[in-house]
Amino acid sequence: MKYNKIIEFETVLESIKIPSNMEMEQQTQLLKPISNIVEDMLPSRLYRFRQCSERNFDAFYKDQVWVSRGSDVNDDYDTCLYYDNKKINDWLKPLLDEQFDFRILNYLKSMQNTPELVKNLLPLPEEEIEQRFKMIRQLPCEDIRKFTFDFKQYIQDNLFEKLEMVTSLIQRGVKFACFSENINSAMMWGHYAANGTGFALGYDFSNGRLNNCPECPRLGKECFYPMQCYIYPMIYKNKRYDATEFAIYMFQYWLLSDILCKCGFINNSQWINTVMPCPDNSMLSKIAIHKSSDWKPEKEWRLFCSNNRPNFFNEAHSYVNKNSVAVYLGRKISSINEKLLKDIAREKGIECYKMELNKSQIYKLKPVKQKL
């Protein structure tokens, strides 16, 4: 992959923010420059290395690509939220300032009427909202000061613990499948195909063919949960991706949700998303495509998958349907596994190759086409 294309991809991706309250058509239009760059960068074939196992054979036969969670892959930093503590503390300073107490106090005391925005957004009858705000305005100054003090203490006591919780949530929630540009890498065969005793599958993702959902006859008829997918190349850097602004947003989201729960509003996520929409819905993928330069030789691409099915987010194992276009046998694969994979390839009508040592001075394996 050309370095300047990656730079262009990164620059354009960083310039785009997708608010969660944006209409789907607008989102698609906003992401079009990214789609165009990705389509231009995509190799004609990407490869997925597998160990020989009943589960992997079954997935190959059924055209299933199983996706992983960030918490389950082999890089401890994968999809791990990074935030700058100094920036977090700078954000906290105005809240912890003593003048904050007086600003809150003066605002509440001077407020003659409940703001229309609050009336429109709070899930309560207008009379009840007015009654609650009237009670707030009548509170003694000392009670308000105590409230603001307790509120600030609450933030200090919970901030970093909740950010760790958010990190765990992201790692368990983002789901993707990993592919490589390089079928000739002895390192990849060694690490991900059981020292060359496994196999690899080749996939064609060109022209937007990211999964089999668009070709499924049930789509729009019986299928209420089509799989949504997009594919991005990895960005390798020596420093972690700074997602401080997103971390602050996630803490604010948790804080508002927690306060509403304490006030008796348990199912409040839809209301919060209306009041405080996420500033960038693409942030999770931005976090997930950044890795240390140590992993650069893998030349990885990631297929991200999402689904509106109620249990999808919490599922430990999920898959997307996508047919392979070729199978590649490891150089040291056993004869029985070789026969089994060739039989599947023959039934599917796809190409089959077997890896061999390259006789030149270059450290590259080479695929040799097999007769089926």
219 occurs within a structural domain? no
Q: Is residue 110 part of a domain?
A: yes
Secondary structure class of 47 (helix, strand, coil): strand
The burial of 176, by beta-carbon neighbours within 10 Å (0-12 exposed, 13-18 middle, 19 or more buried), is given as buried
Shared-domain flag, residues 113 and 7: no
Name the burial class of residue 291, with classes exposed (0-12), middle (13-18) and buried (19+) by CB atoms within 10 angstroms of its CB: buried
Q: pLDDT tens-digit profile of 21-38?
A: 888 888 889 889 999 999
Q: Please give the average per-residue pLDDT across 209-235, as a whole number.
A: 78
Is 134 part of any domain? yes
Q: Say if residue 27 is in the same domain as residue 97.
A: no
Whether 154 maps to a domain, the answer reads yes
Q: Are residues 85 and 34 in the same domain?
A: no
Q: What integer pLDDT is reported at residue 223 of this predicted model?
A: 67
- 163, 251: one domain: yes
Report the SS3 class of residue 202.
strand
Give bridge partners of residue 321 from the DSSP assignment. Answer: 64
Helix (H, G, I), strand (E, B) or coil at 99: helix
Q: Are residues 94 and 159 in the same domain?
A: yes
Report the relative pairing of strands 199-203 and 290-292 from DSSP bridges.
Answer: unpaired
Specify whether 26 is located in the same domain as 150. no
- Same domain, yes or no, for 4 and 110? no
Angle at 107 between CA 105 and CA 112, to 5 degrees: 120
Considering the domain boundaries, does residue 85 fall inside one? Answer: yes
* pTM score: 0.84
User: Residue 233: its pLDDT value, please?
Assistant: 96
Q: Which amino acid is at 343?
A: D
Of 223, 250, 274, which closes a domain?
274
Residues 96 and 26 in one domain: no
Looking at the structure, tell me whether residues 149 and 264 fall in a common domain: yes
Domain for residue 335, yes or no? no
pLDDT at 162: 87
Closest CA to 78 of 307, 280, 251, 295: 295
Does 287 fall in a domain? no
In percent, the amount of the chain with pLDDT more than 70 equals 80
Residue 160: inside a domain: yes
Per-residue model confidence (pLDDT) at position 227: 77
pLDDT, tens only, 137-174: 666 767 666 766 777 777 888 888 888 888 888 888 88
* Same structural domain, 110 and 25: no
pLDDT in the model for residue 251: 86
Share the mean pLDDT of the chain. Answer: 85
List all residues 6 or more positions away from 17 whose beta carbon is below 8 Å from its beta carbon.
279, 280, 282
d(CA 284, CA 282): 6
Among 224, 243, 274, give the residue marking a domain's end. 274
Q: Are residues 109 and 247 in the same domain?
A: yes
Encode burial over 6-35: b for 16+ CB neighbours within 10 A, e otherwise.
Answer: beebbeebeeeebeeeeeeeebeeebeebe
Looking at the structure, do residues 20 and 126 belong to the same domain, yes or no? no
Only one residue has tokens 């079928």, namely 183
Using 50, 70 and 90 to split pLDDT, how confident is the model at 309?
Answer: confident
Q: Which residue has the tokens 């200090």?
A: 156
Q: Number of folded domains in the chain?
A: 2
Domain boundary among 246, 274, 302: 274
Give 98's contacts (C-beta < 8 A, 6+ positions apart). none
Task: Enumerate the β-bridge partners of residue 201.
Answer: 48, 327
Report helix angle 98-110 to 126-137, nearest 10.
120
* Helix ranges, the chain (H): 3-15, 24-30, 32-41, 54-61, 85-96, 98-110, 116-121, 126-137, 141-173, 186-192, 244-262, 269-275, 283-288, 335-348
Domain that holds residue 14: 1-38
